[in-house]
Chain A
Amino acid sequence: MSVGGLFNTGTSALRAAYAQLQTTGHNIANVNTPGYSRQEVELATAGGNISGGGWIGRGVDAVTVSRRYDRFLQAEVIGGTAASASDKVRYEQLGTLDRMFASTENGIGAAIDDLTSGFADLVNRPFDSTARSVVVNRARTLAERISNSFDNLDQLRENVNQRLMQDVHSLNASLAQLGAINDRIAKTAGTGQPPNDLLDQRDALVEKINQTLKTTQYVNADGTVSLFSASGQAMVVGNTVATFELRNDELDPSRLQLAMTTSGNSIALPRGMLGGGEIEGLIRFRDDDLAAAQARLGQLAGALAEAYNTQQSLGRDPSGAAGAPLFGYGTASVGPASTNTGSAAFSVAVSSGSQLQASDYEIDYNGGAYSITRMSDGTTTSISSWPATIDGLTLNLSGGTAQNGDRFLVKSGSAFASDFRAVISSGARIASGLAVSTQLGQANTGDIQVDAFSVTSNDANLSQPVTITFDGAGHYSVSGTGTGNPSGLAYTPGMTISYNGWSVRLDGSPGANDTLALVPTANPANDNRNARALVELADQRTVAGDRFSDAFAQMLSDIGVRTQSAQAANTMSAQVLSDAKAARSSVSGVNLDEEAARLLQYQQAYQAAAKLLATAQTVFQTLLDASSL
């Protein structure tokens, strides 16, 4: 019989209960520690000694302290974190973008209407210098609103880039930390026990990294974790850590792109390969949502400026000069990609404002041939000769030769709204009149009348006097420089006759020898016909088939639709993450009531173990007493 056995059993019980109390204490202390998984002591019996009367147990062993942890639930949380971070930041940014265009009574659409109203007063009183000043002021207000909107969008882009830089900085720091933790975990392998708190730290870091950028992870047998980017590049293996940076995109140097340097190689990570995380959400917002808004604003700005400037140039101001341009806007440009090997250079100019699209373009040279892609919808057209015209832009190869694989960026939609300004110096330069007027013959006997008159181009012979003579029997002849003096042409009421850049629509039936003369306008200051055309611009399809107000309304609704869908995505991914966290928490989370109950339980066990030791001591004492003589 061994008294030591009882002492050992008691001591083991005491030790086990004490370990349990310590662990419960650790759990209680860390109840609110993020990423903490509750720990439990795992007990096993210490086996037994064989004796004549059977196996006598030796007590209890605290085998290990283990985390309550489910790696599948943890994986769900990590995946959910990356998705939710991306959706959340995109929704927040879109909300800001949406609110920028909220007050429509003071918006661009309202400013266009105000300008039209200003022109309408000029229609009534074309010679009125006050009305002219009002038009100039309204043009300036409109230009300010467009320019402010552009600046706001640009500032938003700048803020996104700043945030990206911060995120990359924190990503690199977290990756370095994870490398260090991996190192420490690897070094504890010798102890044979899982380093629970280090493992929790490891998991918390992986979760934090996923908030910034999505990863896939693989836990090795020794407890270290290997992290790979969504596209498969190694981010952390052991204590070898890749670094991330932002650098200029090859095609568009004004755009920051994510790149990763690992074992000396630098790899660019395009947006499609990022998978999730705040960086992905920010880049998606910047290159997709924000870029679309900037392009639409640019399209409206360019089309608007071209429409008004062209109409001005077709008219005449009070001094008889062609109307000066109303608006100036950002110039389109073509630049080569930084990876190009050839020397080709291009020029680009706007040839038709009403065909401009809300897009930038990419020119590619492959297999000895050029092609151009509209970036907003991916449509590619091949180019067989220069100059080439697409979507209202005329592109020309200005010199050099391209090599296969060369790419060029045509900045158009994104450029037009920058530097948007009213360039008209005074109301005296507004072309309210037209260079040429119609005058029916004084002695006309029929009822021929002019229904509509317009100038379509500044033909060299625009102001040349022209006479149209009708024979009263369904024919007419034309005489005047630039017309070629045709005769015997058929007349039908309602037809349009055009020469020398003007166009007149006639109605009614002429009598024999009735005439219609085109004469230079004596005093353009008093003529309101171009002012009428300027008012009517708001009704014309000037923006790729839409009117100004339609194009602006579409821009608003496009932003609105994106915001609404981002909101839905954010709500859903936040819910998925929340549920995943709840599920994980139900396994790993500390419940204070439970720990309180366990405290009592282990305290009781400790007391019992202490009592056992006291009993063992009494037995020993009894033995001693019994053996004393």
Chain B
Amino acid sequence: MRISTPLAFERAIEGMNDRQSALVRTQQELSTGKKLLQAGDDPMGAAEAERTRSQIRRVEIQQRMNDFAKNMLGQADATLAQVNEVLQSLREGFVQAANGSLSTSDRALLARQFQGYRDELLVLANRADGAGGFVFGGQGSTSAPFTTSGTIQYNATAGEQQVGLDTNSPTMLDGRENFMNVPTASGPQSIFAVLDSAISVLSNVSATSPAQQTAATTALQGVDEMLDKVQMTRTEVGENLKSIESRGQLAEDSSIEMKSRLSQLVDLDFAKAMSDFSTNQTALQAAMKSYTEIAKMSLFSYI
């Protein structure tokens, strides 16, 4: 085929331009460390990368809530442990008070101790969780859920506030269930009411000994019911903490997997890119050199 002079030069220039574009592209990949720079490079890959990025964030969001719940439940557990101790002391006390050989003045002394434990119990019931809420805040409370004087009432909505994506973890426990629902012969009563009535009988020096003994025994039954309840709650809290732990592990694993997939889609294989760069560079040099050689050849040089 006959080659015209302008065509020969144009082809050579086109060739150099193409080589240069390829070189610039490789350089861009090397400096960003990515092989997927925009969606046009790999549309399906770009879509998958975006979805994967979002999934990774979702796992992080889940974990945020899980970590918070773990914190709250840890505090709840510690509080329940303390409640347990107070109840044990009360138990011992009531066993003693129920003893027929005690005098009314002895019982009055015990009654003062019981008052102290009862007040401690109220303080624990109104324990703050350090995040602006309360351990026994039910479905949500920013002020102490139990009234502090007169007849103790539970003012928050009974139930548990929960957090989680795909799962539910409680962050506040039900104060009504744990403190106000002690089964007694006259129906469910608050532990405070149980203790208050026992304390008033036991501190009354004109009360009869049998009356006082009965009061102590009734109170003891109440305390035992409460101990069972607290144990059950602690078990539930423990279960929740365990499952948060295992979910955390799963989240970690799946996050690692997704990050690895994202890297596969987006990140550059540096070894290959460096070698491509070198190849392109050589090709550009060859194009430039051959251009200068061809440009020199002209019949006019010989005329």
Question: Could you say which residues of chain B place their CB within 8 Å of the CB of A328?
Answer: none
Cα distance A183–B2 in the bound complex, in angstroms: 34
Q: Is the CB of B132 within 8 A of A592?
A: no
A5-13, A304-312, A493-501, A581-589 - the one binding chain B:
A581-589
Question: Could you say which residues of chain A place their CB within 8 Å of the CB of B1?
Answer: 582, 586
Contact A528-B4, Cβ < 8 Å, known A443-B188, A561-B43: no
Indicate the member of A32, A94, A112, A549 with the most B CB atoms within 10 Å: A549
| Residues of A36-78 whose CB lies within 8 A of B | 38
Chain B: minimal CB distance from A131 (Å): 10
Among B48, B157, B298, which residue has its beta carbon within 8 angstroms of that of A521? B157
B55-63, B87-95, B212-220, B271-279 - the one binding chain A:
B55-63
Chain B: minimal CB distance from A280 (Å): 21
Cα distance A73–B247 in the bound complex, in angstroms: 71
B33-41, B104-112, B228-236 - the one binding chain A:
B33-41
Question: Could you say which residues of chain A place their CB within 8 Å of the CB of B50?
Answer: 104, 107, 109, 549, 552-553, 556
Contact A528-B43, Cβ < 8 Å, known A433-B140, A589-B5: no
Residue B242 lies at the interface, judged by CB distance under 8 Å to chain A:
no
Residue B142 lies at the interface, judged by CB distance under 8 Å to chain A:
yes
Question: Could you say which residues of chain B place their CB within 8 Å of the CB of A527?
Answer: 139-140, 161
A121-129, A157-165, A265-273 - the one binding chain B:
A121-129
| Residues of A574-594 whose CB lies within 8 A of B | 578, 581-582, 585-593
Cα distance A14–B44 in the bound complex, in angstroms: 73
Residue A248 lies at the interface, judged by CB distance under 8 Å to chain B:
no
Residue B299 lies at the interface, judged by CB distance under 8 Å to chain A:
yes
Q: Is the CB of A109 within 8 A of B54?
A: yes
Residue A526 lies at the interface, judged by CB distance under 8 Å to chain B:
yes
Question: Could you say which residues of chain A place their CB within 8 Å of the CB of B176?
Answer: 442
Residue B163 lies at the interface, judged by CB distance under 8 Å to chain A:
yes
Hey, what's the 0/1 contact readout for A106-136 against B, CB within 8 Å counting as 1?
0101101100110011011111100000000
Question: Could you say which residues of chain A place their CB within 8 Å of the CB of B132?
Answer: 125, 127-128
Residue B64 lies at the interface, judged by CB distance under 8 Å to chain A:
yes
Chain A, Cβ-Cβ closest to B55: A549
Cα distance A128–B299 in the bound complex, in angstroms: 87
Chain A, Cβ-Cβ closest to B180: A442
Hey, what's the 0/1 contact readout for B131-163 against A, CB within 8 Å counting as 1?
111000101111000000000000111110111
Hey, what's the 0/1 contact readout for B65-80 against A, CB within 8 Å counting as 1?
1001000000000000
Residue B100 lies at the interface, judged by CB distance under 8 Å to chain A:
no
The DSSP consensus for interface residues of chain A is helix
| Residues of B167-190 whose CB lies within 8 A of A | 171, 176, 180-181, 187-188
Chain B: minimal CB distance from A545 (Å): 15
Contact A538-B58, Cβ < 8 Å, known A104-B49, A105-B53, A439-B158: yes
Chain A: minimal CB distance from B267 (Å): 13
Q: Is the CB of A590 within 8 A of B5?
A: yes
Q: Is the CB of A123 within 8 A of B139?
A: no
Q: Is the CB of B39 within 8 A of A560?
A: yes
Question: Could you say which residues of chain B place their CB within 8 Å of the CB of A95?
Answer: 40
Cα distance A578–B7 in the bound complex, in angstroms: 10
Chain B: minimal CB distance from A146 (Å): 16
Cα distance A23–B165 in the bound complex, in angstroms: 85
Contact A440-B159, Cβ < 8 Å, known A433-B140, A526-B142, A552-B50: yes
Contact count band on A: 35 or more
- The total of chain B residues at the interface (CB under 8 A) is 61
Among A94, A558, A585, which residue has its beta carbon within 8 angstroms of that of B7? A585
Residue A168 lies at the interface, judged by CB distance under 8 Å to chain B:
no
Q: Is the CB of A526 within 8 A of B140?
A: yes
Question: Could you say which residues of chain B place their CB within 8 Å of the CB of A124?
Answer: 64-65, 68, 131, 163, 171
Among B5, B41, B141, which residue has its beta carbon within 8 angstroms of that of A591? B5
Q: Is the CB of B65 within 8 A of A113?
A: no
Question: Could you say which residues of chain B place their CB within 8 Å of the CB of A563?
Answer: 38-40, 43
Chain A: minimal CB distance from B271 (Å): 25
Among B38, B142, B303, which residue has its beta carbon within 8 angstroms of that of A523? B142
Q: Is the CB of B40 within 8 A of A567?
A: yes
Chain B: minimal CB distance from A571 (Å): 11
Residue B24 lies at the interface, judged by CB distance under 8 Å to chain A:
no
A interface with B by C-beta (< 8 Å): 31-32, 38, 94-95, 98-99, 101-102, 104-105, 107, 109-110, 112-113, 116-117, 120-121, 123-128, 433, 437-440, 442-443, 450, 519, 521-523, 525-528, 532, 535-536, 538-539, 549-550, 552-554, 556-561, 563-564, 567, 578, 581-582, 585-593, 596-597, 599-600
A sample of 14 more A-B contacts (CB under 8 A), given A104-B50, A124-B65, A563-B39, is A31-B6, A104-B46, A123-B163, A442-B180, A442-B181, A526-B137, A528-B163, A539-B58, A550-B51, A560-B46, A582-B7, A586-B2, A592-B298, A592-B300
Nearest 8 Cβ contacts at the A-B interface: A589-B4, A560-B39, A560-B43, A526-B140, A563-B40, A557-B47, A596-B299, A549-B54
B interface with A by C-beta (< 8 Å): 1-7, 11, 14, 37-44, 46-51, 53-55, 57-58, 60-61, 64-65, 68, 131-133, 137, 139-142, 155-159, 161-165, 171, 176, 180-181, 187-188, 298-300, 303
Could you jot down 15 A-B contacts, CB within 8 Å? A95-B40, A98-B39, A117-B57, A120-B61, A125-B132, A437-B139, A440-B159, A526-B137, A526-B161, A527-B139, A532-B163, A535-B165, A557-B46, A560-B39, A564-B40
